[in-house]
Structure 1
Amino acid sequence: MTRHQLQGRSEADVLWFRRRGFLQAAAAWTVLGGYGAAQAQQRSNIVELLGDALLNGQRLTPQSFIQSGDAIETGPRSHLVFAIGHSAFQVRPNSRLVVDRGATLNAVSVLRLLTGAVASVWGKGPQRRIVTPTLTAGIRGTGVYAEVFPEQSMRSYLCNCYGEVQVNAGTDSMLSRSSYHQSFWGEVEPRNGRWLTPARAINHTDEEIEHLARLVDQRTAWQELGRKGIKDGQGYMAPQPPAAHPAAVPK
């Protein structure tokens, strides 16, 4: 188990993948053919649901089918894992989000995170976006963790766990290339003239991202490379980073 740092989250929020129920559900999901088979057979694309959640204002059940264009709200003790197309999502408790429709029902163009947190893995394809109250991230194939902090005036957090992400906040825009967790704060007001500032890697684990990747037949960058770096939010495998965090580079 890799080390992780929590800020306003519990161990239960990040260790969901250890539960026997999830492991059994994930194995069944894979054996039955994943998202494509679920869609073709008109089965649910929910891998696991615990606690209370709403889909478009109605009670979400394990038999529901979540489509792009839907709005999701989770309760205080809920946990939701689902897949749409080549992307997989784990929704934390007390979260509200909308998955905007792309070219088809099984393509998400924008994930709008209004509050709460979502861990996600996105397959290769056209650029899609994650939008929070204070930042926007343009993504292709990558693993991402995003969280909105209401107690900090909706300050937003984004970790590019691996891959390439174009991050924008206020007047700041920068390209994040990460092999191992490059993290940002999207500020409510600029700090020292910056709307995007460096962050530590918080509130998510390597194993979460690995399990989500497996649900959509993918592997993380560190699995491909067979090694891990220092989980400090800098985004690099090497103990001495080859470049500065993009949000730390002077304007």
Structure 2
Amino acid sequence: MTQHILQGRSEAEVLWFHRRDTLKAAAAWVAMGGMPAAMAQQRSNVVDFVGDILLNGRRMLPQQTVQTGDEILTGPASRLVFVIGNAAFHVRQNSRLTVERGSTINTVSLLRLLNGALVSVFGRSRSRAIVTPTLTAGIRGTGVYTEVMADQGGRTYFCNCYGLVNLVAGENRAVSEASYHQSFWGEVEPKNGRLLTPANAINHTDEELEFLAGLIGQRTAWQIAGRTGVKDGRGYMDEQPPEAHPAMPR
């Protein structure tokens, strides 16, 4: 297990993929053939379902399908893992997420996270976005972790775990190109005149990203490289000075 730091989250939340039922469900999904087979067989795209979840305001059933245009609300001790097109998602407990449609019903154009936390892995495609109360992230092919801190007035934590992301918070912009966890805060109020600031890597693990990447037949940047890096939030395999972070003032 790779090192991880928790801030307001429990071990159980970040080690969800260890459950035997979850591992069996993922193995069955991959063996079935993933999303194309699910569509052909008219099967659910939900890989893992735990607890009380509302889908478009109604209690969700395990065999239902999540579609673009849907709103997901997870309760305490609940979570939902699903795949749409070439993207895989894990919605953590106490989260509110809207999945907006792209060019087809099986293409996600935008994820709107109002509260809670979301782990996402995207295959390569045209730009997609994640929007929170304080931050917008334009996504290419990448793996990311997003969390809206309700106890901090909606402050957003965002980690570009690997890949290319364009970030906007107020008038602040940054291009994040990361190989190993480049982390940001989308601030509610400016800090030293900035709404986009550097963060440490918190509340998510390498294994979560690897699990989701496997659902869509992909590997993370560190799996491809055959090694992990320095998990300090700066985004690189090797140690870098603080000034290397793209949210640092130039």
Q: d(CA) in 1 for partners of 2:124 and 2:21? A: 29
CA distance in 1, matches of 2:93, 2:230: 28
1:32-72 Cα offsets, whole Å, 9 max, x none, are: 11111111111110001010001101111110000011000
> CA offsets, 1:107-135, max 9 Å, x none?
00000000000001001000000000000
Q: Aligned pair 1:33/2:33, yes or no?
A: yes
Q: 2:2 matched to 1:2?
A: yes
Which position in structure 1 is the counterpart of 2:132?
Answer: 132
Aligned partners of 1:153, 1:212: CA distance in 2, in Å?
A: 29
Instruction: Indicate the residue corresponding to 2:174 in structure 1.
Output: 174
Offset of residue 3 of structure 1: 0.6
Instruction: Give the match for residue 162 of structure 1.
Output: 162
Q: Where does residue 204 of structure 1 map in the other structure? A: 204
Whole-angstrom CA distance in 1 between matches of 2:153 and 2:38:
39
Q: Aligned residues: percent identity?
A: 65
What is the CA distance between 1:241 and its match in structure 2?
5.4
- The separation in 2 between residues aligned to 1:239 and 1:171, in whole angstroms, is 29
Cα distance, 1:239 vs. partner?
Answer: 2.3
Pair 1:123 & 2:118 matched: no
1:84-233 alignment, distance < 5 Å = 84-233=84-233
Residues in 2 aligned to 1:124 and 1:243: alpha-carbon distance in whole angstroms: 29
Matches of 1:240 and 1:188, distance apart in 2: 28
Tell me the distance in 1 between the aligned counterparts of 2:66 and 2:48: 12
Per the alignment, residue 74 of structure 2 pairs with 74
Distance 1:242 1:8, change over 3 A: closer
In structure 2, distance between residues paired with 1:241 and 1:128:
30
What is the aligned length? 250
Aligned residue number for residue 53 of structure 1: 53
Write the distance in 1 (CA, Å) between the matches of 2:125 and 2:240.
Answer: 32
Amino acid at match of 1:69: G
8 Å CA contact 2:234–2:240 kept in 1: the answer is: no
TM-score in terms of structure 1 length: 0.98
Deviates more, 1:58-67 or 1:161-170: 58-67
Shift of 1:249: 3.2
SS at match of 2:181: strand
Q: Secondary structure at the match of 2:232?
A: coil
Gaps of 5+ in 1: none
Q: Which runs of 5+ in 2 are unaligned?
A: none
TM-aligned CA deviation for residue 87 of structure 1: 0.3
The residue number in structure 1 matching 2:24 is 24
Which portions of structure 1, spanning 4 or more consecutive aligned residues, are displaced by more than 3 angstroms?
Answer: 240-243
Q: Could you say what the CA RMSD is over the residues aligned between the two structures, in angstroms? A: 1.0
**Quick one: which amino acid aligns to residue 61 of structure 2?**
T
